[in-house]
């Protein structure tokens, strides 16, 4: 019997792991959670030892086989000369580094930074976290000898190897994304030692990728064509580009893809299914009941709109201080209307990203949808109609861990390359078409939605 392929995803809430056959059939799964620490408002930290403990537990529940890794991007893990963790990791959703982001853009120059890294300085990225440590925790900073990202710390504990892939390194703001190597220019401008950074490889060489690149591979996004639409805690629209092409204003993230020699662009909204989780708790009802009540409302919910900026925003508004709002409320609106307006608001936010991708030449004919929100038939009909794209759900719902398992297979020689892994293992389960009548209503609604952010910004 062929050896199974193992995918391990080091997420924000826990480790998820899968074992698949070389034909993509799911053999086993494992999951182990861990806590998130918020020691101050806007801060988010975790203990790297918790990731390693959870990874060990998950691997013990699965058969042996080649291992691929994916994980939350941008998180900063700092080690001393003995490989010991110096402090809790600062995560992707930590917002403490606004001053350091401004410093980076001043030191490097915004235009040059975008040219090199494909991005502007955002609070979630890794480089601002290092500058924050230098300013606020100089004793810890002085002891740093190695810098790793979350999944790469798990690799280090698993194998003793310090390494990173180009896809995950792209999210550090220290990587020359067009040349697929660490940027001498950025590190010099920020006075950060290059020898702190691990050797960078292609994803297929080290069987690893950041969670979004791995998840895209897991739904078959290996080359220009379909887009990945993720309805997770955050919302993502992800496309492979024909060549490196950063957005001049850096409203999209442009990173190396997990397929060697390719790049991807993605728009990220911070509260997609996160908006649903918040509103479900506030309304005190389950998703099925709320979907049923929302389905009784017509598209557009009689003018009710939701701005989904519960935790700030990235695309198209890089604004950690943005906040959410309902507008257009009337006496007729009930909790079903609130729920539908929230579903529609998130869909409009995803369309913001899709429109920016189209400006870079992306012309998709279908979206491959994943994430917890993809379990809602109503939400998928809304998203398909707002985006004007059919949405396909895949047979595997294992996301980043599935993509990591495919990378394990490439590295182990089971597949000749990532494209072959996708062709053999990734299959569509069903397809949701846009509703023409809904699409017409949502075209009008989207134009109104685009006015919300400027209005809310003025009211701050």
**What residues act catalytically?**
211
Omega cis (within 30) before 316: yes
HEC letters along 209-233? EEHHHHHHHHCCCCCCCCEEEEECC
Q: What is the DSSP letter of 313?
A: B
According to DSSP, the residues that pair with 230 across neighbouring strands are 236, 370
Inter-residue contact 315 to 355 (CB < 8 Å): no
Within 8 A by CB and 6+ apart from 297, the residues are 336, 337, 340
Q: Which residue is listed with tokens 């005190």?
A: 284
HEC letters along 26-72? EEEEEEEECCCECCCCCCCEECHHHHHHHHHHHHHCCCCCCEEEEEC
Helix (H) or strand (E) holding 311: none
Cα torsion angle, 165, 128, 118, 370, sign: positive
3-state secondary structure of 367: strand
């Amino acid at each position: 019997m062929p050896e199974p392929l193992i995918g391990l995803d080091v997420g924000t809430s826990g480790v998820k792991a899968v074992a698949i056959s070389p034909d993509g059939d799911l053999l086993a799964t494992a999951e182990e959670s861990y806590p998130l620490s918020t020691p101050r408002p806007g801060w988010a930290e975790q203990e790297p030892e918790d990731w390693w403990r959870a990874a060990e537990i998950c691997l013990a529940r699965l058969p042996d086989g080649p291992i691929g890794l994916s994980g939350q991007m941008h998180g900063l893990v700092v080690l001393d000369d003995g490989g010991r963790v110096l402090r809790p990791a600062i995560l992707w959703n930590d917002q403490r580094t606004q001053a350091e982001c401004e410093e980076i853009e001043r030191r490097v120059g915004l235009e040059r930074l975008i040219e090199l890294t494909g991005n502007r300085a955002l609070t979630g990225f890794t480089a601002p976290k290092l500058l924050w440590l230098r300013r606020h925790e100089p004793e810890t900073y002085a002891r740093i000898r190695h810098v790793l990202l979350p999944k790469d710390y798990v690799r280090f504990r698993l194998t003793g190897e310090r390494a990173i892939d180009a896809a995950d390194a792209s999210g550090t703001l220290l990587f020359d994304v067009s040349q697929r190597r660490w940027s001498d220019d950025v590190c010099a401008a920020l006075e950060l030692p290059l020898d702190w950074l691990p050797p960078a490889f292609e994803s297929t060489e080290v069987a690893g990728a950041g969670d979004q690149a791995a998840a895209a591979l897991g739904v078959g996004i290996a080359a220009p064509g379909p887009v990945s639409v993720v309805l997770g805690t955050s919302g993502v629209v992800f496309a492979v580009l024909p060549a490196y092409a950063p957005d001049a204003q850096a409203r999209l993230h442009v990173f190396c893809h997990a397929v060697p020699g390719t790049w991807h662009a993605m728009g990220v909204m911070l509260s997609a299914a996160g908006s649903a989780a918040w509103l479900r708790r506030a309304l005190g009802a389950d998703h099925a009941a709320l979907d049923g009540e929302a389905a009784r409302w017509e598209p557009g919910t009689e003018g009710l709109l939701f701005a989904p900026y519960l935790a700030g925003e990235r695309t198209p508004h890089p604004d950690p201080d943005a906040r959410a709002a309902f507008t257009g409320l009337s006496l007729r609106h009930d909790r079903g209307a609130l729920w539908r307006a929230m579903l529609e608001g998130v869909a409009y936010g995803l369309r913001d990203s899709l429109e920016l991708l189209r400006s870079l030449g992306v012309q998709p004919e279908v979206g491959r949808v994943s994430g917890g929100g993809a379990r809602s038939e109503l939400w998928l009909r809304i998203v398909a109609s707002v985006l004007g794209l059919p949405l396909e759900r895949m047979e595997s719902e294992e996301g980043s861990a599935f993509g990591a398992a495919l990378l394990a297979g490439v590295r182990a020689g089971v597949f000749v390359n990532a494209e072959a892994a996708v062709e053999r293992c990734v299959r569509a389960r069903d397809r949701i078409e846009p509703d023409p009548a809904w699409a017409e209503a949502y075209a009008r609604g989207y134009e109104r939605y685009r006015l919300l952010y400027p209005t809310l910004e003025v009211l701050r």
